[in-house]
Structure 1
Amino acid sequence: MLTRRQAVGPLASAIVLLLWAAPLAHAGGGAECPPNLPDCQIDAGGGGKPPGGKPPGGDGDTGGGDSGGGAKCIIDDAEVPCHRPGLGWFNPADRCYWALLEPQPPADDPAWTIATHLPADWKPGQGALYNTTCTAKGAELMGGTAYSATPPPGQGGMVDPAVLAQQAIKNMRLTGADIGIAPRQGGQSLVGLPVWLWNNPTATTWGPKVESVSAGGVTVTATAHVDRIIWTTGDGDSVTCKGPGKAYLPEYGTQKPECGHIYSRAGQYAINATSKWVVDWTASTGQNGRISTDRASATNVSLAEAQALNTQ
């Protein structure tokens, strides 16, 4: 009987190369999730489908799994509350807090004529007056009563840039990894030899992917990229790869892959890949943020002991 040490010799290597021969498996070549489905799982050789539960490594987006994404308000390079009781909502256009005067003064009140930003052709019933408070360095004296024809950027009830960023993510149709694996799908490898794992990178499987969304006079531009992929290998282990990995070629033989795993026991193993996407967004109002979201893909691999492959 051959020992395991004998099994990984030249004969076993030749057998493995035959088993790993092209075509190599990958997940469907461009399969995409439905446009409004935040979570998506892709099986190797098939298209997108909703997962039966949470994908490995975290939740998806907009359904509660995204982290971060809230709008940030900045004054003098420091983050400040976007709303302050008594001062109102932060307006990034002038870095002041705007609070709607309630009730609004009557049309003949002098407050209208002395308000800043009042257009020369103003007519009663147009726009509203706000009390502005400026706390930025050098702007402390710029506050007072101001006129605006429409609620200013950042005003409560206006379009939230963070919400537009979430919509941009939906429009991107981001997916999990387009999985490549050696040995190929349906093939078999030997215990003790490396299994190669990689992602076939595109804009929607790796990034960068850029999308802009506009509403209510606000435009948000979001850029997404995969920060890392966490591969759970089905044997209780996991592998984290910062890059997409390198596709296997027969001339590589049994050398160590950029991203892969070595199994110690024979069997059929389910492999799940969780792509950790990072989305940075900026708004035309000056606000910005970051959203983290996950996408999942799956495949499987079969491992045999060398004795089984060499039995006459």
Structure 2
Amino acid sequence: MNGKETCAFASGTWTGRCFAGVVDTEPDPDDPAWKGHDDGVIVLCRTLACAERLDQNDMAHCSEFEERRYWAPVPPGTEVDFEALAQRAVEDIGIEPITIGIVPEDKPGRVGIVGMPVWMWVQEPGPTTYGPGEGEATAGDVTVTATARVVRIVYDMGDGTKVTCKGPGTPYEDRYGVRESPDCGHQYGKQGDPYTVTATSYWVADWQGPGDLGGTIRLNRTAETQVVVGEAQVITQ
């Protein structure tokens, strides 16, 4: 600025309209400049005309048009890719495929019967396999947090049928006998040796950055198992 070193503040970051920098002293929390936010920074923005009149103490007699304050999520000149940071926050959760709980089980000698109920569920659901899971990522002074959860699981039963379950399902117990699953089940119409069953869990991750910055990321994970289903008369022979 005309060779003057006294414009250190004003020469910080040119926004295209003014020289901008974080104020030296933050205003009180109830100051209108915060606009209801409790994070981020308050920026002092000075026009070229105002900046040229700064003295050795970084002071100037500027009009409201030439100097204004406003809230910003990050300091001027900070390059932050919030979407990339949000992706990192989601990765921090460590989302994994579910462990499929199913009857008949995927074990040697375990055979289901055509027409009998098949139960499916999430085996030992946790933050990384069903949610809610939480993660965060930081770049400089900026932190983004993410919370993710499963919204549905789609089971491809291997016989051309897909079953959508909105919850984790109910684990089968011997006391249930031949009852159908109350929330996540199937019946095979013909024998299969074996049927390959895939379970795709669909996640929704909500992320939050400074102030009102936020969004949603959708992703999925797939697990696989197999079940053997036979005709009753064949099994009993």
**Pair in the same fold by TM > 0.5:** yes
TM-superposition CA deviations, 1:92-148 (whole Å, max 9, x none): xxxxxxxxxxxxx5454xxx9xxxxxxxx963785123326xxxxx9xxx9863699
TM-superposition CA deviations, 1:232-270 (whole Å, max 9, x none): 000011000000000000000111112111000001100
Q: Which runs of 5+ in 2 are unaligned?
A: 19-34, 36-43, 48-66
Task: Classify 1:106/1:210 alpha carbon distance in 2 versus 1 (closer, same or farther; 3 Å).
Answer: farther
Q: 78, 82, 85: which one pairs with 1:161?
A: 82
Which residue pairs with 2:122 in the alignment?
199
Other structure's SS at 1:308 match? helix
CA contact (8 A) 1:182 1:248 kept: yes
CA contact (8 A) 1:165 1:222 kept: yes
Larger Rg: 2
Q: Which runs of 5+ in 1 are unaligned?
A: 1-104, 113-120, 133-137
State how far apart, in whole Å, the 2-side matches of 1:107 and 1:284 are: 37
Aligned length: 186
**Cα shift at 1:219:** 0.9
Counterparts of 1:98-247 in structure 2, within 5 Å, are 105-108=1-4, 123=8, 127-130=12-15, 131=17, 145=47, 153=74, 158-186=79-107, 187-200=110-123, 201-247=125-171
Which residue pairs with 2:213 in the alignment?
287
Other structure's SS at 1:245 match? coil
Which residue pairs with 2:39 in the alignment?
none
Task: Classify 1:107/1:253 alpha carbon distance in 2 versus 1 (closer, same or farther; 3 Å).
Answer: farther
**Cα shift at 1:211:** 0.9
Greater RCO, CA 8 A, separation 6+? 1
**Cα shift at 1:157:** 7.2
Counterparts of 1:258-269 in structure 2, within 5 Å, are 258-267=183-192, 268-269=194-195
CA RMSD of aligned residues (A): 2.9
CA contact (8 A) 1:230 1:239 kept: yes
Other structure's SS at 1:248 match? coil
Which residue pairs with 1:307 in the alignment?
233
Task: Classify 1:154/1:163 alpha carbon distance in 2 versus 1 (closer, same or farther; 3 Å).
Answer: farther
**Cα shift at 1:299:** 0.5
Other structure's SS at 1:246 match? coil
State how far apart, in whole Å, the 2-side matches of 1:125 and 1:246 are: 64
